[in-house]
Amino acid sequence: MANEEDDVELAEENILYDLTVQAEWPQESEIFTRGARDKGHVSLLGRLTSVTQRSIWTFLRTLGIPIISASPCSLPQNLLKLVNSQINWHIAIASECTYIAILQDQCVEIRSKRDNFENVVGRGVVSRDPYPQWRQVTWSPDNTMVACSRSNGTVDVFDIVGTQLFTISGEAQEDMTKPLDLSRAVAGLLFTDLKLEAPWSAELLVVNYHGRLKSYLVDRDKGFQTRHHFLFNHQYPLGISSIVYYEPAKILLVGGLGMQTEIALSRSMEEGVTAWRILSDYPYYKMVTDYEQDLKQAQQKRTLMKRLKSVNGIFNRRPHVQDGVFKLCISPDDKLVVGLHYSGKLTIWRLPSLKLYHCWGLEEQPNFDEISPEFTDNPQRGKTLKDLVPCKNLVDVNWWDSKSLILSRCTGAVTVSSTKTLKNLLGTSPEWFEPSSRVTGVHHDGFLGLEVEYMERFQPPRKRPKIINRTYRLVCLKSTTPEELYTRKIDHEEYGEALELAKAYGLDTDRVYQRQWKKSDVSIASIQDYLSKIKKRSWVFHECIERIPYNIDAMRELLEFGLKGTDLQALLAIEKGEDGGR
Q: Helix, strand or coil for residue 8?
A: helix
Amino acid at site 528 = Q
The winner for highest mean pLDDT among 310-324, 378-392, 458-472, 514-528 is 514-528
pLDDT tens sequence across 47-84:
444 444 445 445 444 544 444 445 556 788 899 999 99
Helix axes 44-62, 304-315, angle to 10 degrees: 140
Query: What whole-number distance in Å separates Cα of residue 444 and Cα of residue 188?
Result: 26
pLDDT tens sequence across 302-313:
444 455 555 554
pLDDT of residue 571: 59
Reply yes or no on whether the pLDDT at 388 is more than 60.
yes
Strand order in the sheet with 145-149: 136-139, 145-149, 155-159, 164-168
Query: What whole-number distance in Å separates Cα of residue 135 and Cα of residue 133?
Result: 6
Long-range contacts of 247-250 (CB under 8 A, 24+ apart): 247/193, 247/334, 248/334, 248/351, 248/352, 249/275, 249/277, 249/351, 249/352, 250/277, 250/278
Boundaries of every domain in the chain: 485-519, 520-582
Average pLDDT of the chain to the nearest whole number? 83
Query: Does an H or E element contain 307, and which?
Result: helix 304-315
Are the CB atoms for 51 and 178 separated by under 8 Å?
no
Query: What whole-number distance in Å separates Cα of residue 217 and Cα of residue 471?
Result: 38
Output the pTM of the full model: 0.82
pLDDT tens sequence across 163-222:
999 999 987 766 555 667 899 999 999 999 888 888 999 999 999 999 999 999 999 999
